[in-house]
Structure 1
């Protein structure tokens, strides 16, 4: 495993030392203090930090493995989900087998919560949680890297600029993913494309599929697909806490041709994605790919089809589609009033209008598209047009 030293998650033997390092990190403790004691952290931060450190040392006593840490964190995850959602549902878990490792290839809407919801489902099904792919652009602070690698995250080097460096990084990443599934028997979660689908259009980047093959080029692409046990995963949020920020970014890109993130913008997105209201959330584990896929292009088409078909459409999606200027008038999309009970639709209409009212007029077309695009994608597939 030496070749993966720079990207791998922490192992059980490293857990106590990393936890001790986190508790000694002033920046980490400062953020926790502001989160736990928002009113007192300013004037009394100097007093609250030692209190929090002492409490954390008590909490981590006896935690000497990743599994034990996840068991300890599970109640906190429960409370976070309870506060930020109107319920989370899962389907397709019954097909996952104990002792088998899978490559969970998922659509990507939220930086942290996408893999967190998959983890949560797998954990409560009594199966080992997957190792999580995370971009190094999100690991600017040492304590963030420590936290993520403690929770079975491995690093995807996206900030490299040189062609040779990028190629070497992708080869290492591919080798690690193959090693994890085939030899370690550990599942992997990775997004279907780099970056979130800010416009609601869930599409697989074939370059990622080609990357999977780089670590085993001596075998046919189709054999690699079967060996990795690829399971397409569809994550559906009724409401996206970051939808306004995404609409703003898309508007700026459209009007200026570029977008530069402000310092700390990813941190704000992460915090909002975790704590912001999501309404209902559904996670669908599709059937494992078992057909013959000779190349990345054909595989991408099939992954897209499954993710789109398994995406759950909520009333807000249909309400957005009905007022979207990008809708296909020739497509037989049922009216929202025929799909949802009147009471549910009335409540959704009020919430949806509230989101529109909170959105500046110039951003609004991009906000509408985020929710409407999945409707177009699904009904085009149903009509045999995609």
Structure 2
């Protein structure tokens, strides 16, 4: 088991010591005062020092923090499709990725509420450079995706992660969450990167790759936010890409984005669970015996599920109508909602910059564009 030590979360036997060493950290104090404002510091410190498992920490602390975040920054979380999942069963959730922390955290809230196995979740090691954040992520059952590696190191790291994910699913009966691509979607176009699937397949000893994927019990997940609290923060990177420039992050940019996503206003949030992939594999095998084409076909199956089930909000329809200068979806929002969205646009970006304006609008409009590929009945 020591081969996973560089990426794994804490074992339960390590939780108590990690919590005790974090009791006096100012960020732990801020988290606990935000979550339990009516509880005295000595009381929550004593309660934390008695916790001995990740599940206990998640249920007594993390879950409560997320409820407070939902109260303060949204109109609540809605869900659909969770009835398809069986209790005491591990699944590999592959989802679109909009928010660094909340995508996976809110999925776990919904899994807990439905009495289902919660996930171990992938997180980039660039996001947990600070010692406290690394401890907190390991306490919340995150495992590390190593970034900034050479090609040779990347190959070794990918194989290790693949083996760890399969170990969790097959040996520990632990569900796993992983994003469909590296990094968050910046332009609203959710697409599964075949490289993610190739990484997952590295642990396979099956003659047919699709037989291995079937064992993973893959579940496509779509998560949508009515307002993306980090929408304006994504603009500099989109601008750089529009000029074919390499985008270099500012110092602490990841942390600022992380915090903005957590506390910023989101309004509506919805998570949809797609069907567990099953019969799709035989269809893919029947169509081609080329491994690369099979992986691409599987990525398309996941995309089809995510894009079709993505919940659209008034903000998406408003952005579409503004961007494409139509009134096609005016029946799906009212004038007040449009005014609020236009005001947000004016306040958060330079609307005289056409690239920035179009990028901001496209971020919200593209989910509509993508859904129209499947149906005109919106």
1:148 matched to 2:137: yes
| Structure 1 segment 87-98 matched on structure 2, within 5 A | 87-98=76-87
Residue number in structure 1 paired with 2:120: 131
- Please point out which of 360, 366, 369 is paired with 1:373: 366
Instruction: Decide which of 136, 150, 163 is 1:175's aligned counterpart.
Output: 163
Closer/same/farther in 2, CA of residues 164 and 255 from structure 1, 3 Å limit: closer
SS at match of 2:223: strand
Contact 2:18–2:135 at 8 Å: present in 1 too?
yes
Root mean square deviation, CA, Å: 2.1
Counterpart Cα distance in 2 of 1:59 and 1:36: 11
> Counterpart in 2 of 1:335?
328
Question: Which segments of 5 or more consecutive residues in structure 2 lack a partner in the other structure?
Answer: 35-39, 286-293
Residue 171 and residue 197 in structure 1: after superposition, are their counterparts in 2 closer, same or farther (change >3 A)?
A: same
In structure 2, the residue corresponding to 1:64 is in which secondary structure?
coil
Name 1:44's counterpart in structure 2. none
1:174-323 matched pairs, under 5 angstroms: 174-255=162-243, 257-290=245-278, 291-292=280-281, 293-294=284-285, 295-323=294-322
Give 1:139 shift: 1.4
- CA, structure 1 residues 90+164, in 2 after alignment: closer, same or farther (shift >3 Å)? same
Q: Is the 8 A contact 1:102 1:187 kept in 2?
A: yes
Pairwise CA distance, 1:220:
1.4
3-state SS in 1 of match to 2:224: strand
The within-5 A match list for 1:102-121 is: 102-121=91-110
SS in 2 for 1:235: strand
1:77 offset after TM fit, Å? 1.6
TM-score, normalised relative to structure 2: 0.89
How far did residue 34 of structure 1 move?
Answer: 6.2
2:148 & 2:232 partners in 1: Cα distance? 26
Structure 1 partner of 2:68: 79
Unaligned runs of 5+ in 1: 39-50
Q: In the aligned structure 2, how far is the partner of 1:32 from the partner of 1:137?
A: 20
What is the Cα deviation at residue 61 of structure 1?
3.6
Alpha-carbon deviation of 1:18? 0.6
CA drift of 1:255 comes to 3.1
Give runs of aligned pairs for residues 25-40 of structure 1, distance below 5 A. Answer: 29-32=25-28
Cα deviation digits, residues 186-206 of structure 1 (max 9, x gap): 000000000010000000000
1:20 maps to what in 2?
20
Give the secondary structure class of the aligned counterpart of 1:137: helix
TM-score by length of 1: 0.87
Give the Cα–Cα distance (whole angstroms) in 2 for the partners of residues 296 and 215 of structure 1.
15
How many Å separate the matches in 2 of 1:55 and 1:370? 45
> How far does residue 89 in structure 1 lie from its aligned partner after superposition?
0.3
Q: Give, in whole Å, the separation in 2 of the partners of 1:229 and 1:270.
A: 30
* Partner-residue secondary structure (3-state), 1:63: coil
Partner of 1:122: 111
> 1:29-54, CA deviations, whole angstroms, 9 ceiling, x for partnerless residues?
2345567889xxxxxxxxxxxx95x4
Say if 2:16 and 2:49, in contact at 8 Å, map to a contact too: no
Helix, strand or coil for the counterpart of 2:169?
helix
In structure 2, how many angstroms separate the alpha carbons of the residues matched to 1:306 and 1:173? 25
Kept in 1, the 8 Å contact 2:89–2:117? The answer is no
The residue number in structure 2 matching 1:68 is 56
Distance 2:157 2:195 in 1: 14
Whether the 8 Å CA contact 1:23–1:56 is kept in 2: the answer is no
